[in-house]
Amino acid sequence: MASGSSTQSLVISKQRKDENESEKVDGKSDGESSYCSSDDLEPEWLDDIQKNGELFYLELSEGEEELALTRATNHQVSTNHVRFSDKEAEVITDQRKKKCNGSRTKGTATLKKLAKMLRRKHRSALRKDVPASILKNQPGQYQGGTVQKQLKEVCVYLNPKRLSASSVPLFEDGGLLEALLGVIHRPSWDSEGMRQEDKLTVHGLVPNSPAAKCGDILIGDVLVAVDDVDVNSENIERVLSCIPGPTQVRLTLETLIPLNRARADDAFEARRMKSSPPVSQLVRLLWGDDTAELQMSIEHIPHIVMYLSLKLDSASPQDEEEILYQYPASEASRQLKGVRGIFLTLCDMLENVTGGQILSSSLLLGKQLVHVGYWKENNNLLVIGLPAERVPLLYLQTVLGDVVRTLKMMYNSLDSAFLVADHAPRLDHFFCLFFQQLIQPSRLTEGHAAPPQDASGTLFLDGLPAVRWLTLPPEIKMEVDTLLSDFESSDFGEMSEDYFGLRRMYVILGSCLFYKSYLIANHLPKEDLLDISLYCQHYLLLPLSWEQRVGQLVVWREVFPQQRATAAPGFNTPQGRYFLLIVGLRHFLQCVLLEAGGCASPAVGCPGPDSVYVDQVKATLLQLEELEGGIEERLSAPAAPCLSCADWFLPSSSSTRDRLDSLASSSPVLSKLVKGSHSSGHRGRNLFGEKSRKPSPQRSLSDSGSEGLDGGFGMSRNRGLSPHSTPDSGRRLGTRRDSLGSGGSEGSGGSTLLFKSPRMKHPNPFYLGTLKKTLTEKETEEMYNTMKLSSGAENSLFHFLLMDSVRGVFIAPSHRDVSQLSGSIHPQLIRNFHHCCLSIRDAFRQSLPAKARRASSRPQRTGWGLGPVKEHGVLFQCKPQNWTDQKKPAPTMTYWVIGRMLLEPVPQEFYVCFHDSVPEVPVEMAFRLSFGLDL
Amino acid sequence: MMLQEGPVQLLCLTANSGVPLFTRGSSKQLPFSVMGSLNGVHMFGAGQGISLLSCDTGGGGKVVWKVFKDSLMLIAVSAGQRSQSSHTEEEVYLQRLLENVWGCMVLVLGQDELVTVRNVERLKRDLRACFSLIDLLLEERHQGIMGNLTHCADSLLPPNPALLQETVAGFAQAADSEYGCLVIHGRIAATTEKWSHLMPQEVVLLLALMQTLSKSGSSSCDYPVFLPQGSPTVALRLLRFQLLPGANVCVLCGPTPSLQRAESDLRQCWSPVVDSLRDTLAVGERCLPSSVSVRQDVLSLMLINRDTHRSVSCVQALSNQPDSSLPSRARCWELLKVFYIFSTTRYFHQESSSPEEQSQSSSGDFVQGFSHQPLQCYLVTEECKCYGLQTDQHQLFLLFPLSVPTYVLRSVANQTLSHLVASTGF
């Protein structure tokens, strides 16, 4: 079907490919040749291309699959199931074979190529869960005859939805038993034509059916129960028809076994029952398999998205005709859907009353507070209702703006997204992902190494108009940038125009590279980067590459980058069309923005992905894999700047200190830190009363100005005393920045006075990576040693975030840094930090210049009651939970969360969280962050 | 745009039939159809089990609905632009306004008449008695009175509190009352002991009522009042006497004594303390006796006692030449109010609002989201620096000029708090 829908271009590209196979292999790294050893084979994803050219193909890596398999194998080995073990071995060989020749083996249970998010195409490859086979020795009720019978339990994965969509000929006799489960049962008839037998004996298995694939159901077994419901030939159809959606069911079967095997240890087996599903929720959600079940789990939380028409045609009073699109169609949205009249009326009326478009309203559903956001486009209205406990009103506009921007990026306009009937299933999936991420973010990362994300953190980080950035050592960064640039120049091999003497199909506008969800290189303008990162965020591609080694991910679709679509005519021709190609391999994810038309040949119809381009991206990624060691090293390196764990500041237990020591012995940088906190550990305890503070040098400066009530400290005096903390230092930052930028030399502008770790800073955010000077190793080492942001002996920094609005990137401690500082208080603190940042950023947003706003094209207010906010800080106090000692009051720890926004010279936002003990001047910290880190 | 720049438009309708009872505020009334729609959407939602709370529009516009005792619906519409506050701040202000308007309707008419509406026309006529009070609440924005917002009665700390307190107690006793209060410049200077048992909102409303009554110019009056929480159905008598211009004393009492009899006690009680009264009057808007010094670089401050639900607030007259970079007095008051709302909607506990009430306001959920307790916060804006802190007993909000370095804000705030508490015992 793919070739039927693919276009001319695809055919051409394949032609080229065939002709020039050898050259390509030579031209590129050997990595590629090993991967694409079979060029004459179709790429695996070819079948998944949609009619409109779109592709979303996801395959897990061998590592992931083998992990699942080993789990399964371990089960088998330890349970003495001789009978099944050879079956397993067979599966493994199957697997290996498939991977070796790279060909497509349809129907292999472990081949997870069910990228059916956009379409429910028939596929016989039903996923099965790990066969958790259980032998139960129950000689009691089911025992009959002379042969000993035994019960066993088998788990199979059933998906009734697939049934309806499939083109499998209906099994007229077997009904659901045969069609859904794959068990063939032929009832025997007695002389009068009545069904005689009550027992459901397995007479045969349908190939590739769940029953056959699980390998534990044997011909001759008798099916006695489904999910503990006793079944017989009378009720089996009814029982199976009750399965609402894709789910795992437990079948109990009566089987004949040799007597010596009947001595299975029941308890031992029962423990094994709970086998974890081999594939995480996240992947299942992406495949679009389990949306029904996930959707059901948030049924009780009201949420809705509707696209309503404001133009009502009263001539045709059809019911609900004003609803152009709605999701979900479940109980969760019933009430909100019922009052859509309110939304329409308010939208219609309030513009005349208050002179502004309606933005949001708050409703109370019983006890539950729901915020509703509105977005009006032309004569239609997008309405999204979300529970207040998940999305505070402060942030509703950001969330709504992001959704609208993502939709516009994908479909050009809301109207074209919602008004085309074909889009409905895709939009369903789109909004399913949307609500799942907002309402139960924890569910998606369940049971994985990925850090559990709290709701506020997800909201805040996703809402930032920036992408998480990982600073790399310069030499690695240079290589990465060179590789990307080489790829983007596309002047070699099949991608060059000279090669065929044809106009090239696409111009590569730029690309960006993610490693484990961190952006490590970006050659795209900011707005395009944000568009793409929104898409990746929405489709959970970034967490995916973080937690799971992706075997292969290929995404292709036409996109409408907002900046380019709305830009004034100039460089880009208006008839140019843009395509997004995302290729993921292992932990790498490369996003490429392509342009057709303009310099390249115009796109005709809906072209699918061109395998030349896909292969080139893959080749680039394979080359990049050589650098993976270096990047991984950077990721596992101790955090720079050093972070402290909140728990260390609470003198709750002596074990903390011990743990710290043991930690320190393993890491030189940490040991430095521990020394610091050792020496001041006692001090830390007395710090909470302000009076008892032992002043650090800097502190004494500030105190001298503020001590003495009647002193009336003159501000000029203070300025003289502490030059680095005057409020107007934003201006000074500007000059310093300039001097740094022009020279690029270290320590210029006299910043050595203020910064312990002056680092060079490149003024131009783009394309300069390759020019970056390589620092000597010694310098780098020194840097790590001095990367302590807070002053004083003690490192008091808990967490930070620095966002550069111009480049659209932010840096924050990596997940690993955070998880290394394990503790009970620290995760709480970070959750609190993110929640507080929501508020701080909301205060900032009021004063952002309009063009810096990510989401909105609508008019915004110019002022705020307090005027533009430049800096905002909150002091928090925390107590250890479960404080049992009644005699002593619980020890407390206080810490600041401070946000600061700079508009000049480049818009930047800083958020820091540090311990109260050292009264840091946040300005200073911010400076150090921006200069000291290699952003 | 139907609403002109100006104060908030307030609509009052009967909840079940939607008959408009009155509108106050903007000089230009909303068209009847709009009023009908505003009421209609809320009623429609109520029929579906959904209650509409508020609505934001671009440009800072805001609509807030509230139904009281299932009988009357109040709708506040603010057009935005005029007040440059963000949605959250505006919403808290409008919520408080609606509560206060309902409170003063009960105060004047009693709850019975409002809950069981027999004759709509008569109710409309009766409600006119509240208009002066409602208008005062609507205009209140820029005055130095914070109580309408904080529901903590504005207070003025006299130089010699004990003497005045004794006198008030003596006068109240003479008038057979347990509730007596001395009001200077619209702020509480001294009260009897029992006065503090009144609900904070009632005290705030009584102060507002006193202000409208004293505007009439009469030296004394006898006014029936219902206390919205304390006695919503049984009227009490509020006796008010003017002692000096700007100084009033009031007592809440039952059927006795007559106004004349109480007035006769007046001179006897108060003439010995006239000098003290004059001293207290001289404290003026500063609210703090001159013996209590506040650092010069504090532009304005508000101190709330969370136990007694009283507050002291002041904007300091800057001694030096008026600096153009500093916000004006009116602006200082406004900033203080906005900063108060900002802090209490996001971090601090809002006084005299039950948790249930907080969860019903569309921003209350945010405060609950913190896993640790916020203690202090500060803001640096283009005009000034704001600092807020909260202890078990007090909340303090301060404004500083931009020239004060950020890192000293905290110590100044802590010192100011301890100094104020130590020197005034507030």
The dotted CATH code for B8-142 is 3.30.450.70
> Least CB-CB distance to A867: which of B48, B375, B382?
B382
The position carrying tokens 């106090």 is A877
Mean pLDDT of A420-438: 85
What does the alpha-carbon distance between residue A616 and residue A620 come to, in Å, rounded to a whole number?
Answer: 6
Give the residue among A752, A808, A778 at the shortest CA–CA distance from A927. Answer: A752
CB-CB contact of A181 with A284 (8 Å): no
Provide the token pair at A921: 């001047």
Q: Give the architecture-level CATH label for domain B293-424.
A: 2-Layer Sandwich (3.30)
Q: Tell me if the bond preceding A641 is cis, omega within 30° of 0.
A: yes
A818, two tokens: 């955070």
Contact A895, A913 (CB under 8 A): yes
**Sheet containing strand A358-365, strands side by side:** A323-327, A304-309, A380-387, A368-377, A358-365, B50-57, B61-68, B72-78, B9-14, B20-24
Most confident of A136-140, A596-600, A711-715, B394-398: B394-398
Chain B residues with CB under 8 Å of A877 CB are 372-375
Give B41 to chain A, closest Cα distance, Å: 5
For residue A174, what pLDDT band results from cuts at 50, 70 and 90? low
Q: B379, A866: Cβ pair inside 8 Å?
A: yes
Which of B180, B176, B155, B156 is CA-nearest to residue B166? B180
Write down the mean pLDDT value for chain A: 64
Rounded to a whole number, what is the distance in angstroms from the first to the last CA of chain A?
47
Confidence label for A934 from pLDDT (cuts 50, 70 and 90) = very low
The CA distance from A534 to the nearest CA of chain B, in Å, is 25
What residue ranges of chain B are covered by domains with CATH 3.30.450.70? Answer: 8-142
Range in A64-73, A88-97, A580-589, B321-330 with the lowest mean pLDDT: A88-97
Q: Residue-wise over B350-378: b if at least 16 C-beta within 10 A, else e?
A: bbebeeeebbbbbbbbbbebbbbbbbbbb
- Please list every residue in chain A whose beta carbon sits closer than 8 Å to the beta carbon of residue B390: none
- CB-closest option in A706, A715, A727 to B412: A706
The amino acid at residue A45 is W
CB A485 within 8 A of CB A508: no
- Between A4 and B316, the more confident residue is B316
Q: Look at B302 and A172; give whichever has higher pLDDT.
A: B302
Residue A472 main-chain phi, psi, to 5 deg:
-115, 155
Mean pLDDT of A546-553: 72
CB contact under 8 A, A356 and B339: no
User: How far is it, in rounded angstroms, from Cα A230 to Cα A250?
Assistant: 12
Most distant CA pair in chain A, distance: 113
Could you give the angle at which helices A474-489 and A611-624 cross, rounded to 10 degrees? 170
Which residue type, as a one-letter code, is found at position A434?
Answer: F
Q: What was the pLDDT predicted at A924? A: 64
Interface touch A355/B80, C-beta < 8 Å: yes
State whether B61 and A894 contact (CB < 8 Å): no
The whole-number average pLDDT for the span A646-656 is: 59
Contacts of A342 in chain B (CB under 8 A): 41, 44-45, 50, 52
Query: Which of A706, A721, A798, A842 best tests the B interface by mutation, with the highest count of B CBs <10 A?
Result: A706
Give A878's contacts in chain B (Cβ within 8 Å).
371-373
- Chain A residues touching residue B87 (CB < 8 angstroms): 359-360, 393
| Predicted confidence band of residue A617 (pLDDT cuts 50, 70, 90) | confident
SS3 call for A810? strand
Cα–Cα distances (Å) from B258 to A226, B223, B237, in that order, read 87, 12, 10
Around Cβ A328, how many Cβ atoms within 10 Å? 21
Query: Which amino acid would we find at residue A769?
Result: G
Q: Smallest CA–CA separation between A387 and chain B, in Å?
A: 10
Per-residue pLDDT at A374 = 93
pLDDT digits (tens, 9 = 90+) for A916-930: 776 555 556 655 655
Residues of chain B with CATH 3.30.450.30: 159-282
Q: Is pLDDT of A186 > 60? A: yes
Tens digit of pLDDT for each residue in A756-784? 333 333 333 332 233 333 333 344 344 44
Alpha carbon distance A406, A414 (integer Å):
10
Write out the E strands in A257-399: 304-309, 323-327, 358-365, 368-377, 380-387
What percent of chain A has pLDDT above 90?
Answer: 2
ipTM of the complex: 0.89
pLDDT beneath 50: ranges in chain B: 1-4, 82-85, 354-356, 358-359
Q: Left if phi > 0, otherwise alpha if psi is -120 to 50, otherwise beta: which for B246?
A: left
User: Is the pLDDT score of A619 beyond 70?
Assistant: yes
**Chain A residue with minimum CA distance to B399:** A866
The reply to whether residue B50 touches residue A710, judged by beta carbons under 8 angstroms, is: no
Nearest CA-CA partner of A244 in A117, A158, A129? A158
pLDDT category, A879, cuts 50, 70, 90? confident
Q: How near does any CA of chain B get to the CA of A341, in Å?
A: 8
Q: Do B369 and A350 touch (CB under 8 A)?
A: no
Residue A11 has pLDDT above 80, yes or no: no
Residue predicted with more confidence, A730 or A200: A200
Q: Look at A235-244, A472-481, A714-723, B97-106 and tell me which has the smallest mean pLDDT.
A: A714-723
Residue B257 has φ and ψ, to the nearest 5°, of: -85, 175
Q: Percent of chain A scored above 70 by pLDDT?
A: 51
Which residues in chain A have Cβ-Cβ distances shorter than 8 Å to B363? 392-394
- Of residues A524, A542, A522, A490, the one with CA closest to residue A593: A524
Say what the pLDDT of residue B394 is.
92
DSSP H or E stretch at residue A57: strand A55-60
Residue A784 is predicted with a pLDDT of: 41
At residue A858, the pLDDT reads 35
pLDDT tens figures, A223-259:
888 877 788 777 887 787 777 666 677 788 887 654 4
A273, A274, A278, A283: CA torsion to nearest 10: 140
* Residue in this structure with the two tokens 């500007």, named with its chain if needed: A734
Indicate the DSSP class of residue A219. T
Q: What is the pLDDT of residue A216?
A: 73
Model confidence over A834-867: pLDDT tens digits? 889 988 888 887 765 443 333 333 333 333 467 7
Model confidence pLDDT, tens digit, residues A347-371: 888 887 777 788 889 988 888 889 9
- Tell me which chain A residue has its CA closest to the CA of residue B62: A354
Q: Is the pLDDT of residue A6 over 70?
A: no
Which CATH superfamily is B159-282 part of? Dynein light chain 2a, cytoplasmic (3.30.450.30)
* Banded pLDDT at A279 (limits 50, 70, 90): low
Tell me the pLDDT tens digit for each residue of A496-539. Answer: 666 666 667 788 888 899 888 888 888 888 888 989 999 988 88
- Check whether A748 has a pLDDT greater than 60: no
What's the predicted TM-score (pTM) here?
Answer: 0.72
- Confidence check: pLDDT of A138 > 70: no
pLDDT category, A190, cuts 50, 70, 90?
low
Give the pLDDT mean for A748-762.
32
Among A290-304, A484-498, A577-591, A798-812, the least confident range: A484-498
Looking at beta carbons, which residues of chain B come within 8 Å of A369? 53, 359-360, 362, 365
Establish, for the pair of chains A and B, how many residue pairs have beta carbons separated by less than 8 Å.
Answer: 274
**Tens digit of pLDDT for each residue in A287-303?**
666 667 777 778 888 88
Residues of B within 8 A of A868 (CB-CB) are 381-382
